Amino acid sequence: MQYSPKYQSAKIVAPKIEEHFLHHIALASHKGEQDIATIPQVSIIEAIIDVCFWASFRSEEGKYPRISLAFLSPEQALHPVVFQEKLSLNAYVLSKLAPGIEGAGIHLGVWYQDGELYVWGSTTSIPDYCFVLDVSEPGLLVIKHKRINGYGKFTNVVILKGDEIKIVNEDSGMLPDSPQILKSLLGFTAPYLRNDTANILIQLAVFMRSHGRGGTLLLTPSADEQWKSSLIQPFHYQLNPPFEGLANLILKDGANISESLWVSKLKREVDHIAGFTAIDGATIINDKYELLAFGVKIGKREGNTSVKKIAFIEPVIGGEASLLEVSRLGGTRHLSAAQFVFDNHDCIALVASQDGYFTVLSWSESMKCVQAHRIETLLF
C-alpha cells in the first residue's frame, strides 16, 4: 500500500520497527513456535502510527482517546467481536470507538484489503509478537508486542512523544549486573510463568507508576536483616506477622485453578501491596514477597559514608551508562533509595516519581557503585 504520513516521526521509525519484528518472528519461527503474528510492512506501520497520532488529539466529550490497536485479521483472533461493516482506519473513526475499548487488554483489530487499512472489530486475544500500538495520551504512542506463550506486561519497542523518539535498546539487559526486572522487561528471560517473580515485580512497578502519587518499594533478603540498620526506628507501620497474601499465591502458583482466576487473584494482591507505596515513606517486601512494613523512613547506616555518584542508565538507544552526581538523580525519595542500596548491596529499590519517571536502583559489583536504571519507557 502507498501512504504518505504527515507525522514525520512515523517515517523515521517505521523501518526500525519492521526490522525488530522481522528479527524476532524469524527467531520464534526457527524455534518452532506456531501462534505467530503477521509482520506489518513499513508502509502499514507508517499509516497506523500517523492515523493514531492525529487521533490522539481528538477529544470526545472532553476526554482524549486511549486506544490499543492490534494488526491482525479476524481469523487470527480468538472469539473476536466482528463488525458487520468494515470501518476505514482514520482519526475520526478511532476517536468515536475509543470510549468503548478503553479497558485493559482490549484491542481494536486492524487489517488491510486492496491496499486499504480498515478496522474490523475488537479482540482480547492476539497471537505472539502481534504488532500493537497504544495511544496513551495526546501525542504519546507506544509500539509493543505480546511475548511468546505468556501473560503480563507486553514488550515495548518504540515510544513516540511528539517529535521525541525513544527506541528500546534490548542490549541494555545484557549489561553486567543488570537487575532481573530489566532483563524480563526486555525479554531476556523465559516466557512468563505464573510464579515468575520478575514478572510479579513488573506488575508491582506498573501499579506503583499508575497511582501517580510516587512511592518507594524496597526488596530485601529474607535470610539477612542487616538492612534494618538503614531505617529510622521505630517503624510506624510494621506488620506482625508479615502479610503473606502475595507470597502464598506465588508459592501455590495456581496449579489447581484456571489461569484467568489466578491472574485475577494476582492483580488483587499486587494492587493491595503496591497501594501502600502511595503512603509517605518506603514500603518493604522481602524476596519471598511477604509485606513487612510501609511508611518507613530511610536513613544512612551508622559508620557508612554518603553515596556520592551513581551510574545512570536508560534502556533506549543513546541511553548508555554515565556516571552522575547522586543529586542529579532526583529528589529526596531517589536520594534516600540510592543511599539504602549503597548501604545494602543485596537489596533493590524501585522508585516511582509523581511525574511518571520510574527508577530501579541496585548495586553493580562490576562498576562498584549504585546503578540507576530509568525504565518508565518499558512500563508504558
What's the predicted TM-score (pTM) here?
0.85
| Residue 140: CB atoms within 10 Å | 16
| CA–CA dist 347, 218 (Å, integer) | 7
Q: Which residues of 107-125 are buried (b: 16+ CB within 10 A; e: fewer)?
A: bbbbbbeeeebbbbbbbeb
What digits encode the pLDDT tens for the residues 284-294?
A: 999 999 999 99
What digits encode the pLDDT tens for the residues 198-208?
A: 778 888 999 99
- Considering the domain 180-378, what is its CATH architecture? 3-Layer(aba) Sandwich (3.40)
Listed in order, the ranges of the chain carrying CATH 3.40.1700.10 are: 180-378
What digits encode the pLDDT tens for the residues 9-25?
A: 999 999 999 999 999 88
Query: Contact 218/336 with Cβ under 8 angstroms?
Result: no
Confidence of residue 242 (pLDDT cuts 50, 70, 90): very high
| CA–CA dist 148, 291 (Å, integer) | 31
Most confident of 123-127, 177-181, 246-250: 123-127
* Residue bearing the bigger pLDDT, 12 or 189: 12
| CA–CA dist 44, 1 (Å, integer) | 7
User: What strand order describes the sheet that includes 81-88?
Assistant: 81-88, 116-123, 107-113, 67-71, 131-137, 140-145, 155-161, 164-167
| CA–CA dist 261, 273 (Å, integer) | 19
| CA–CA dist 50, 45 (Å, integer) | 8
Query: Contact 112/118 with Cβ under 8 angstroms?
Result: yes
| CA–CA dist 157, 154 (Å, integer) | 10
- Residue 366 buriedness (CB in 10 A; 0-12 / 13-18 / 19+): exposed
Q: How many CA atoms lie within 13 A of 20 on its CB side?
A: 23
Residue 343 grid cell: 548501604
So what's the pLDDT on residue 190? 47
What digits encode the pLDDT tens for the residues 51-99?
A: 999 999 998 888 899 999 999 999 999 899 999 999 999 999 999 999 9
Residue 266 has pLDDT above 90, yes or no: no
Which candidate, 328, 326, 341, 335, places its Cα nearest to that of 177? 341
Which candidate, 36, 20, 264, places its Cα nearest to that of 158? 20
| CA–CA dist 131, 217 (Å, integer) | 32
The dihedral formed by the CA atoms of 333, 337, 342 and 346, expressed in degrees to the nearest 10: 180
Those residues with Cβ within 8 angstroms of residue 120's Cβ, 6 or more apart along the chain or in another chain: 73, 74, 80, 82, 83, 86, 87, 109, 110, 111
Which candidate, 184, 135, 165, 24, places its Cα nearest to that of 380? 135
| CA–CA dist 249, 194 (Å, integer) | 9
Those residues with Cβ within 8 angstroms of residue 207's Cβ, 6 or more apart along the chain or in another chain: 270, 271, 274, 275
| CA–CA dist 47, 243 (Å, integer) | 49
So what's the pLDDT on residue 196? 67
